[in-house]
Amino acid sequence: MTAPWTALPVLDIARFEGEPAERAAFLEELRRTATGLGFFYITGHGVDQGLIDQVLNHSRRFFALPEADKLEIEMVNSPHFRGYNRKGMEVTRGQRDWREQIDIGAERAALPRDGDAPAWARLQGPNQWPSALPELLPTILAYQAAASDLAIRMVKIFAAALGQSENVFEQIYTPEPHHLLKIIRYPGRDATESSQGVGAHKDGGFVTILLQDVQKGLEVEGEGGSWISAPPIPGTFVVNIGEVLELASNGYLRATVHRVITPPIGSDRLSVAFFFSARLDSTVPLLRLPNELVGQTRGLTVDPLNPLFYETGRNHLKSRLRSHPDVAERHHADLLEPEAVA
């Protein structure tokens, strides 16, 4: 038996490009980590530190703006679920999260909204950008491009770990993958209040690439309901498995539950989460795994409150409607019956 995880491991993904023996050893370590915990830090990612510093700096500047400047891009004004949310406006498993944030997706034109369009088509559309901080737009678009390249690199690495061609998933994420970037600030509050920064949940998509500033708060569910802290480590990203990889591998890779604890009063926590997924019009394939992996396949997670769909757009729309009830009620009242998102 393996010992319980007490900390997230640090993996150097540059080893994937090494000699055959080094590559094989790295993939074995990745499989062990991915199936046992589903979360890890990465080094060797190649993302420019200057760009990372710029993203964190501009994020701090945005949250320091007067409330009126932030509310200029309030999410409730976007049918595409883009823009700024005040504290308590996003919901996880029925409970309000204590964080303010900006949601920024791929910068694309809205799709026609008519009776023939699938419901998930409403997720595509332009972002909202703050006029008080014009520098945010070019910085975030540059970071999205870098994070997307890194996420594709991770998807190819996971494909190899599953005994597949590195390009096995290319058919469902090219030419326009779906992705979402969240810039998040968790204000501190007194310990006598709720500790929920964001409630326990799993991520959709292929993988999440998480940039943390300096304050800890992320916790990953371990064995027996224990929680493992994942404090920031300079020069790293945290990577975790999303539901697309769980679906494609029939549970050999499993999206792991995680949460964020509110920091103590007088402090705050800043993070930038990049969620990389397949195209909204795609269907996740069920892979034929090598025999040596099939025996370790656990099947899909069964959670009545979070059913998994192989249809990518349906999965993402389900999540957005539940997490942002104010946007759903204003722009998508016709989809609030469960069968409407089918």
Residues 35-61 have pLDDT tens digits of 989 999 999 999 999 999 999 999 999
Overall average pLDDT of the 187-206 stretch = 84
Residues 92-147 have pLDDT tens digits of 877 889 899 999 999 999 998 888 899 999 999 999 999 999 999 999 999 999 99
Query: Does residue 247 surpass a pLDDT of 90?
Result: yes
In a domain, 46, yes or no: yes
pLDDT at 116: 86
Task: Give the percent of the chain with pLDDT over 70.
Answer: 96
In a domain, 261, yes or no: yes
pLDDT at 270: 97
In a domain, 2, yes or no: no
In a domain, 143, yes or no: yes
Judge contact between 255 and 301, C-beta under 8 A.
yes
| CA–CA dist 237, 273 (Å, integer) | 10
Total-model pTM:
0.95
pLDDT band at 196 (very low <50, low <70, confident <90, very high): confident
Residue 76, domain extent: 10-341
In a domain, 219, yes or no: yes
Judge contact between 267 and 190, C-beta under 8 A.
no
Judge contact between 245 and 289, C-beta under 8 A.
no
Query: Does residue 4 surpass a pLDDT of 60?
Result: yes
Residues 148-170 have pLDDT tens digits of 999 999 999 999 999 999 999 99
Closest among 322, 315, 208 to 258, alpha carbons compared: 208
| CA–CA dist 245, 301 (Å, integer) | 12
Amino acid letter, residue 285: P
Residues 26-36 have pLDDT tens digits of 999 999 999 98
Task: Give the CATH number of the domain where residue 244 resides.
Answer: 2.60.120.330
Overall average pLDDT of the 9-18 stretch = 98
Query: Does residue 342 surpass a pLDDT of 60?
Result: no
Query: Does residue 1 surpass a pLDDT of 50?
Result: no
Query: Does residue 340 surpass a pLDDT of 70?
Result: no
Q: At what angle do helices 136-161 and 20-36 cross, to 10 degrees?
A: 100
Query: Does residue 194 surpass a pLDDT of 90?
Result: no
pLDDT at 3: 67
In a domain, 1, yes or no: no
pLDDT at 92: 86
| CA–CA dist 325, 97 (Å, integer) | 13
Query: Does residue 256 surpass a pLDDT of 60?
Result: yes
CA atoms within 13 A on the CB side of 227: 13
Bridge partners of 275?
180, 208
In a domain, 5, yes or no: no
pLDDT band at 297 (very low <50, low <70, confident <90, very high): confident
- Domain count across the chain: 1
pLDDT at 205: 94
DSSP of 302-339, one letter per residue? --TTS---SBHHHHHHHHHHHH-HHHHHHH-GGG-SGG
Query: Does residue 298 surpass a pLDDT of 90?
Result: no
pLDDT at 325: 94
pLDDT at 225: 85
CA atoms within 13 A on the CB side of 159: 17
Structure tokens at 228: 């493992």
| CA–CA dist 53, 56 (Å, integer) | 5
What value, to the nearest 5°, has the Cα angle with vertex 63 and ends 144 and 189? Answer: 115
In a domain, 248, yes or no: yes
Residues 203-240 have pLDDT tens digits of 999 999 999 999 999 999 998 889 999 999 999 999 99
Judge contact between 169 and 206, C-beta under 8 A.
yes
pLDDT at 189: 82
What is the radius of gyration, based on Cα positions, of the chain? 19
Residues 300-320 have pLDDT tens digits of 887 777 788 999 999 999 999
Closest among 12, 43, 6 to 26, alpha carbons compared: 12
Overall average pLDDT of the 334-340 stretch = 71
